[in-house]
C-alpha cells in the first residue's frame, strides 16, 4: 500500500508587481494557513519519505511556512514539471516515483491537484468535498492499493483526509482577509 499526500500552495499575493506568475509570493493569510497546516501534519504524525514540489515561489514559501509549523524542515525534489501541471502530467510523475518511497508528499497547483484527487479516488463524502472546492493550503491524503507507483490507476485510491485551513481556524476561510 502506498500513501500519496497532495498539498496545494497557500494563498498568494496578487498585489506585488511581478512580471511572471511563477514569481508570485504568498500573502499574510497564506503564510498563516501554511504554518497551521504544518502544525496539523505534525499533530497527525504524518511523515514523508519523499517530497516532490513545484519550484514556483509560492510553493517554496508555502513549504517554508509548513516546515515552521511542522517543526522540522524536509527537503523536496524540485520539479518544474509540477508547475501548473495537469492531472495526467501529475499521474505520470506519480508513476515515476521512487519504489522505496511509501509515503509521498506532492506540493503544487490547481486545477491539476484537484483533478488528480478526483481521477484517483473512489466516491465518498470526502471526495464530494474535493469536488466542491480544493482551496489553497489544503491537504488531500490518499491510500493506493498498490505496491508499486506505476500501478496507480484511476478510481482505485481511498481519500482518507481532506484538511482545509478553515477547518483548523475559521479566520482562514474565504470571507476573511
Instruction: Copy the grid coordinates of residue 170.
Output: 475559521
58 in a labelled binding site: yes
Closest by CA to 79, choosing from 107, 38, 113, 114, is 107
Residues 6+ positions from 57 with CB-CB distance below 8 Å? 22, 23, 24, 25
Q: What Rg, from alpha-carbon coordinates, does the chain have?
A: 15
Can you tell me the distance from the alpha carbon of 97 to that of 172, in angstroms, rounded to the nearest whole number?
33
CA angle, residues 171, 173, 175, in degrees to nearest 5: 95
What is 142-173 written as a DSSP string?
EEES-SSGGG--TT-BEEEEEE-HHHH-GGGS
Q: Looking at residue 9, what DSSP letter applies? A: P
* Known binding-site positions for substrate: 58
Residue numbers in the known binding site are: 58
Amino acid at each position: 500500500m502506498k500513501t500519496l499526500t497532495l498539498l496545494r500552495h497557500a494563498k498568494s499575493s496578487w498585489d506585488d508587481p511581478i512580471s511572471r506568475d511563477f514569481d508570485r509570493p504568498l500573502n499574510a493569510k497564506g503564510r498563516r494557513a501554511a504554518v497551521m497546516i504544518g502544525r496539523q501534519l505534525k499533530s497527525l504524525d504524518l511523515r514523508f519519505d519523499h517530497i516532490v514540489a513545484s519550484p514556483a515561489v509560492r510553493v517554496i514559501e508555502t513549504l517554508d511556512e509548513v516546515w515552521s509549523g511542522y517543526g522540522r524542515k524536509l527537503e523536496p525534489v524540485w520539479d518544474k514539471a509540477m508547475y501548473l501541471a495537469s492531472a495526467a502530467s501529475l499521474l505520470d510523475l506519480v508513476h515515476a516515483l521512487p519504489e522505496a518511497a511509501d509515503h509521498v508528499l506532492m506540493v503544487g497547483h490547481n486545477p491539476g491537484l484537484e483533478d488528480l484527487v478526483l481521477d484517483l479516488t473512489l466516491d465518498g463524502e470526502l471526495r464530494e468535498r474535493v469536488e466542491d472546492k480544493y482551496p489553497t493550503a489544503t491537504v488531500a491524503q490518499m491510500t493506493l492499493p498498490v505496491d508499486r507507483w506505476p500501478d496507480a490507476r484511476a478510481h482505485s485510491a481511498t481519500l482518507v483526509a481532506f484538511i482545509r485551513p478553515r477547518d483548523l481556524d475559521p479566520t482562514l476561510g474565504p470571507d476573511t482577509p
